[in-house]
Structure 1
Amino acid sequence: MTVQRTYGGISAQQRRAQRRAALLEAALEIVGTEGLAKLTVSGLCAQAGLNERYYYENFAGRDAVLAALIDGIAEELAAAIVSAVRTAPPDTRATAHAAITAGVHLLTDDPRKAKVALIAGMATPELRARTTETVRVFARMVAAEGIDFYRMSDAAPDPAIDFRAMYLVGGLVQTLTAWLHGDLDLTRDELIEHTVDVFVLLGEDLADKLT
């Protein structure tokens, strides 16, 4: 039987979770401010104030660190969007505006998160595959929300719903990436408004066709 020691009221499992969180915060700071090339084991541990053995206790390599960062940001993003939708006024534009504003703000209020999620997430084939799957997850969220909002649940499943949801989410990712690179001369509020226009247009058009 393994006995976990407790120091200062904190168990070994809690201490390990704290070290992992410190390493991830350090990775977010390094990648988000200095770039992916600066993410090394020694630099990460120095930033976190931890011995290198704690890095290997938690991660198999740099891709594992980045994957954990991407997953954590995706979870934050999903929670923010769901919360915004639940508290939005019950009309099409207000709901879309609340969801998109919550997502864009989460990624751009802390620009480090956007840099990790949208730029570092494309650094290797493995990370690109993970990012693609994350886009699919959010597309399924959009599709489910649209089906519920427009009361399309009684209609026969239509591949056009999934197509438009993937088109919207994938397009938003590419647009937001271009905006972060300075390729779109828009304020953040203008970016949000244009995105809402597209989401509402495609959502209402499809609802009219299917209901």
Structure 2
Amino acid sequence: MSQRSYRGMSAEERLAERRERLVSAAYTLYADLGFPETTIEKLCTLARISNRAFYECFSGRNELLQAVHDRCVQETVLAVLKSMEQAPETPTGRVEVGIAAYISFVTEDRRRAKILHLEVRRAGDYLTRSRQHSVAVFTQIIETNIFDLPEATKANQHLLALGVIGAMQELLTEWVLADDPPDVDHLIDTAIHIFHRSFAT
């Protein structure tokens, strides 16, 4: 038996549409108000759904934040990889372009930067695994492109790549929190400088 439709939408389509509205609402509220201050009621009001419908989509605010965070990561990875495809065919060139693409894309929308580098931390242990996964993805991108770097030090390259990612995270956290944020170009130049200093002999 086929499921009854409402306004031309199946039950699955309605659920997906409500989830999308909640993700969009969370993207704004978690960034503007902050994760701790954003209640389910506020999310439902902005998404124009009932509290009951919320729990048909997500188990709670944490799961919704994870969905928003994971999407931000996916979009950022795609932007970085797309830029690196057009980068100079050298390990240094690819990584420099990747770093610039990461910082540029994340800072294009302050909401994205705040969710990725501040609000996800404020969610506590729940999102630790998602954070670790995103760090691992970007660390692997660097490792993949520096394994044959002639001037690379013989130190543990995985840990060095992890250190570069950590430095970029702190630079972007500073950008989000500062009353007078540093220029994005300065963030990029600093991150690239850290990369070169990390892998130089």
Q: Quick check: TM above 0.5?
A: yes
Q: Once the 2 structures are TM-superposed, how far is the Cα of residue 6 of structure 1 from its aligned partner? A: 4.3
Residue correspondence of structure 1 range 1-211 to structure 2 within 5 A: 3-7=2-6, 10-123=9-122, 124-147=124-147, 150=149, 160-182=156-178, 186-203=182-199, 205=200
SS at match of 2:156: helix
CA contact (8 A) 1:93 1:196 kept: no
- Share of identical aligned residues, percent? 26
Unpaired runs of 5+ residues, structure 2, are: none
TM-score (norm 1): 0.82
Structure 1: distance between partners of 2:141 and 2:3: 40
Q: Once the 2 structures are TM-superposed, how far is the Cα of residue 129 of structure 1 from its aligned partner? A: 4.0
CA contact (8 A) 2:92 2:146 kept: no
C-alpha RMSD of matched pairs (Å): 2.4
Q: Deviations over 1:34-58 (max 9, x none)?
A: 2223311111010011122221011
CA contact (8 A) 1:32 1:116 kept: yes
Structure 2: distance between partners of 1:201 and 1:90: 21
Q: Once the 2 structures are TM-superposed, how far is the Cα of residue 185 of structure 1 from its aligned partner? A: 6.5
Unpaired runs of 5+ residues, structure 1, are: 152-157, 207-211
Aligned residues: 197
Change (3 A) 1:17 1:159: farther
Change (3 A) 1:91 1:145: closer
CA contact (8 A) 2:94 2:145 kept: no
Structure 2: distance between partners of 1:185 and 1:120: 18
Q: Deviations over 1:104-144 (max 9, x none)?
A: 12221110111111111111122234313321222122212
Structure 1: distance between partners of 2:29 and 2:181: 27
Structure 2: distance between partners of 1:201 and 1:10: 56
SS at match of 1:60: coil
Structure 2: distance between partners of 1:118 and 1:197: 21
Structure 2: distance between partners of 1:56 and 1:119: 25
